[in-house]
Structures are given as structure tokens and as C-alpha cells.
Structure 1
């Protein structure tokens, strides 16, 4: 393989011949000089060719990195879309594997009861002066930003953050906290996503979004190189929520990790 160091050695190898020039005739010296020039020119051309190859390789690497980033983004977009479809409603069926699903067409309609351990709230946990329909509409507006049509993930994260600041005890707060994590996840803000999912588990331990949040915690902990923490998160899903769809996914990951 051609290397720059090899070319330099070739150039240095020409130097000892200069000591012979003093004993040669003028024509011989010219001939020797021409050969040296030809050799230097050849080496220079080879060096230029290698530099072009290196630039091409750097360009190819940059293109591959860009394509990989695009594939990762598409994969996360697809994952979010599947997550929304699997859940089949705000309350979700144990939150699906990950959490609540596509919002209803009427933004002021109450959350649908689609099975699982969802229970309609008997009394509102929002501030007494809050308009439930306004709260619902604000939640739906934030959730709509995550739709495949919009994909405005940063704005969605900000909207869910604002919602949680205003209504931390509302019945939709666990959903909002979960989708805040998803908004960060698809934006590849892994640490922020992990923190958001941890809040689902810590602040809303009875929510049906906890199994999905625990599973996503495990996935993010794997990405961040925290293998033992990931195994523990998966084990919690299987142990504490064995009937959830997230438990099956967690089992698969535990097999891969040998946990």
C-alpha cells in the first residue's frame, strides 16, 4: 500500500546521488538531473493522487455518516408512529407497549375507555378553576405536534413541558410526561428522554404508562452504555408488569443482554 512516508523515503533516497555529480561531465550531470526531476515529478504525482483518494474517502465517510443519521431519524419516526398506533387511544391498553395513542378527532372529548387498567377519573385533579375542555385541548395541541404530518418534536417537548408545569396533577399529566420523553427520544436527546421517562415512573407509579416508560428507560440506558441499569429496568417491567405488552419486549432484551 502506498504511503506518504514511503514517498518521502523515495525522495530522500535521491540525495546520495548528489555526491556523484562532481565527478561527472556536464552532459552526464544534465542527464542525471533530468532523471532526478522525472523521479521527483513521478513521486509528486503519486502524492497528489493519494491526497485526492484521501479527500474522496473523507467525503464518502461524511456521506455515510449523514445517511446513517437520516436512517436513525427515520427509524425513530417510525418507532413513534408504531407506538402511537399500538396504544389505540389516550388511555391505551396498558399504554400499549409504550403509552397512549392517537388523539381523537374532537379535541374536547373526554379520554376514551379502551380497556386495560384505564379508569375514568371520578373527580378532576386539576386546579379547581381550570376548564377541563381547555386542558384537554391544550394536551391535544401538544400531542398533535408529534404526528407524522407535523414531526415538530422540539415544539412538542416544549408544549408538554408547559402543560406539566400548569397541570402537574391532572389526569392527563402521566400521558404528557410520557410523550415528553418520546419527543426527546425522537430528537435524539437521549439524556433528556431518559429523565422524562424516569419521571413517569417516579411521579405517577400507578399510571398505565409505567411499563412502557420502564422499557424505554432500558433502551436509553443501553444506548448510554449503562448495561446493568438497563437490565434492572427490563427486570422491573417483567416483575412488576408481567401482563403488559412491554413485558414481552423486555424479555427479548434481557435474552440479548444475558440478563
Structure 2
């Protein structure tokens, strides 16, 4: 079998390795003319050009996707920040409601704000009692959460059975949430639920407890509590929030 030599011009054109291999194989088989070889070289060169262009297009698309991803991340950060601000505002409003409830209870006007009947009997309170509660809540609003826990705990110990004890338990739980001590937050909210099941703070406390379980990756308990909120307080705002969280 006669072996045809491969034209040296192919090497001068720096053809891809695949081209050289194919040409060499065809040359060995004796079935490649110079025209066939050059035609094959042009086809491979065109394919190589298309691959290079495809790679450039892909890089451009990936770059665009990366920019979109970065923009989405910034939007999520902004949304998270807005939700944190909203939660802070809600907590401040709840604190004001605490004070309003107490003042209305003192004046006998409890019907509009107090909600479901308290599980604790009405008792006479003093100015020191009101001042102690306000002092503890002021610490919470100043984000001095360790101090808030200490003062609310002292308030509960000094004033057992008084109407604002359930509220104090709730704010202790929220203080633990803010310092990311989720286990103690769960216990505080559970104490609120167990001791004062009819208190209007309970549905909000259950929502926070579900959030705490979620934070420690106990998804099952979190879901169970959200369903409990919907079951026990079906017409409440907290039930609507629980349904939204379950969907998410």
C-alpha cells in the first residue's frame, strides 16, 4: 500500500490536533486527496470558530446572570432589613398597648383593648408596680436585652399573679430571641402558653416560638406550632401570618 505524504502546508496553518490526526489517518489509509484534506480542514476550522463564539456567548450570558443574581441578593437584603424594621415597630406598638391595657384596667375600661378574659384575677397595683414594668420595657426598647430579661424576671418574682405577668413573660421570650438564645426563648413562650392560655399574648407568643424552633432547625416542631395557631385562633391576625409562613 502506498502511503501518501501529508502536505506540509497543513502544519504551517497550525491546524488543531484533531485535524492533524484525521489527516494522518486518511493518509495512512490512502483514501485522502489534497482537495479532500483541505475541505476537511476548512470544516474543522469552521467548527472551531463556532465553538469559540459559543464560549464567548456563554461567558456573556453567565456574566449577565451573575449581575442579576447580585441585584436579587441586594433586594433580598433590603427586604430583610425592612422586615426587621417592621418587627421592631410592631414590638414598640405592643409595648404601648401594654401600658394602655394597664391604664384602662386601672380605670375599669378594659373591654375594648384587653380582648379575651385574663386567667389571673384583678388585683390592686401600686405606682411601684407600674414603674417596675415600664423600667423593664424601656430596657427592651433600648435593645438592652440582658437587662430587660433581668428586670422582667424581677418584676414577675415581685408581682406574681398580677395582670402584666403574662406580658412580662412574652417580652422575656422576645429578649431571648434578640440575643439568639432560642432554647430559653422557647421555654419562656411555653410558660406563657401553659400558665395563661387565654391571654391575648398567647397567639403572638406561639408565632415567636415557631420562629425559634425554625432557627434551631427543628422544622417539625415549628410547623406543628404554626398549625396550632391556626387551629386555636382561626380568625386572628396571627393565624393569617401562620398560614403565610406555612405556604413559604
TM-score range, shorter chain: 0.5 to 0.7
Q: Which has the larger radius of gyration?
A: 2
Could you tell me which residue of structure 1 aligns to residue 5 of structure 2?
none
Structure with greater proportional helix content: 2
2:209 counterpart of 1:220 = no
Q: 1:121 to 1:253 in 2, by over 3 A?
A: closer
Paired with 1:161 and 1:77, the residues of 2 have a C-alpha distance of 26
Paired with 2:93 and 2:104, the residues of 1 have a C-alpha distance of 21
Aligned counterparts, 1:91-130, within 5 A: 103=99, 110=106, 113=110, 114-115=112-113, 117-118=115-116, 124-125=122-123
Q: What do you get for the CA RMSD once the two structures are aligned?
A: 3.3
State the number of aligned residues: 168
Task: State the 1:77 CA deviation.
Answer: 6.5
Could you tell me which residue of structure 1 aligns to residue 186 of structure 2?
194
1:156 counterpart (148, 167, 176): 148
Task: State the 1:117 CA deviation.
Answer: 1.4
Task: State the 1:80 CA deviation.
Answer: 3.1
Task: State the 1:140 CA deviation.
Answer: 1.1
Aligned counterparts, 1:1-259, within 5 A: 79-85=87-93, 89-90=97-98, 103=99, 110=106, 113=110, 114-115=112-113, 117-118=115-116, 124-125=122-123, 131-147=125-141, 150-256=142-248
Does the 8 Å CA contact 1:138/1:163 hold for their aligned counterparts?
yes
Does the 8 Å CA contact 1:107/1:137 hold for their aligned counterparts?
no
Paired with 1:107 and 1:217, the residues of 2 have a C-alpha distance of 28
TM-score (norm 2): 0.58
Q: Alignment partner of 1:206: what SS?
A: coil
Paired with 2:169 and 2:192, the residues of 1 have a C-alpha distance of 6
Unaligned runs of 5+ in 2: 1-76
TM-score (norm 1): 0.56
